[in-house]
Amino acid sequence: MALVAGMRVGSRVLFRPWAWLPGAALGRKESAARGRVGARGFGSQRVLVEPDPAAGIAVMKLKSPPVNSLSLELLTEFVISLEKLENDKTFRGIILTSDCPGVFSAGLDLMEMCGKNPAHYAEYWKAVQELWLRLYLSNLVLIAAINGACPAGGCLISLTCDYRVLADNPKYVIGLNETLLGIVAPFWFKDTLVNTIGHRTSERALQLGILFPPAEALQVGMVDKVVPEDQVQSTALSVMAQWLSIPDHARQLTKNMMRKATADRLVKQRDSDIQNFVGFISRDSIQKSLQVYLGKLRQKKG
């Protein structure tokens, strides 16, 4: 077996780029929870995993009501489930979807970024980085079955997937809308978007914080397919079959070739990226903007 840049070619698991990242190791309890997934469903409170070992795939459903906002707990459970599937050679692909009606994910949890201390912000941001790195460089085929609204961090997660299927519902908007909150998408959010829809469209989408409805999302390439809501899952499954018809080693090496440079940019500056986030989010003006935004979200109901 040849070794290419730390990747073992000839076995199914080709690269574990995070294995050497600081803080990437899981605790003892979490490690003990790993192991073969088998045919029974597993998961955690916030991440349901429905394995289909015969097909070599698993459906992973985010289940953190009401809106799958990416709390520290959800991020942690997400990473653990992902690692379990990555480590089990039975699995070659994951369909990522939501168990919360009408929302794929509301993005980063605003409560994690409001009124907390710098140590908390640092821990939170490290967890966000970790999930992005693992998803972006995953060996598995990842298909997003987007069955609800998909703003900001929710959009980022879908952009790490190899293919996005979006339900045709005008409420199911998708995009990086950070500027609407008075905050800035970090460079690696931006890079992920640029890699998907190109520079000019990203520039406009990011500055204006555009949340694209399905037809426009398809037109700009933010998603790959728009289908009636009741066909999202079946379409994701048939797309998965197509991707799994490609030999793993060739597809994985190609994915790595396309994505590694983007991931490396963050890997090389994880600590300074955390410091930037902590400094930025701790500013009084940013805290005020987030509070105002949260207030508007709450008012919407009343």
Ligand X SMILES: CCCCCCCCCCCCC/C=C/C(=O)SCCNC(=O)CCNC(=O)[C@H](O)C(C)(C)COP(=O)(O)OP(=O)(O)OC[C@H]1O[C@@H](n2cnc3c(N)ncnc32)[C@H](O)[C@@H]1OP(=O)(O)O
> Quick one: 73 or 86, whose CB is closer to ligand X?
73
> Quick one: 28 or 298, whose CB is closer to ligand X?
298
- Per CB under 6 A, the segment of 32-40, 108-116, 192-200, 253-261 that binds ligand X is 108-116
- Per CB under 6 A, the segment of 130-138, 157-165, 180-188, 235-243 that binds ligand X is 180-188
Continuous H helices in the chain: 28-33, 72-87, 118-136, 152-159, 187-197, 199-208, 214-220, 232-244, 248-267, 270-282, 284-299
H or E element at residue 163: strand 163-167
| Rounded CA separation 202/192 (Å) | 10
Contact flag: residue 175 with ligand X (CB under 6 A): no
Is 256 annotated as catalytic? no
Q: Catalytic pick from 62, 70, 96, 108? A: 108
Contact flag: residue 206 with ligand X (CB under 6 A): no
Is 70 annotated as catalytic? no
Residue nearest to ligand X (CB): 107
> Quick one: 87 or 289, whose CB is closer to ligand X?
289
Is 302 annotated as catalytic? no
Q: Which residues contact 142 (CB under 8 A, 6 or more apart)?
A: 93, 94, 96, 135, 160, 161, 162, 163
Looking at 80, 184, 227, 244, which residue binds ligand X (CB under 6 A)?
A: 184
Contact flag: residue 29 with ligand X (CB under 6 A): no
Q: For residue 48, list its beta bridge partners.
A: 43, 61
> Quick one: 88 or 168, whose CB is closer to ligand X?
168
Give the count of alpha carbons within 13 A of 272, CB side only.
Answer: 7
So which residues are the catalytic ones?
108, 153, 177-178
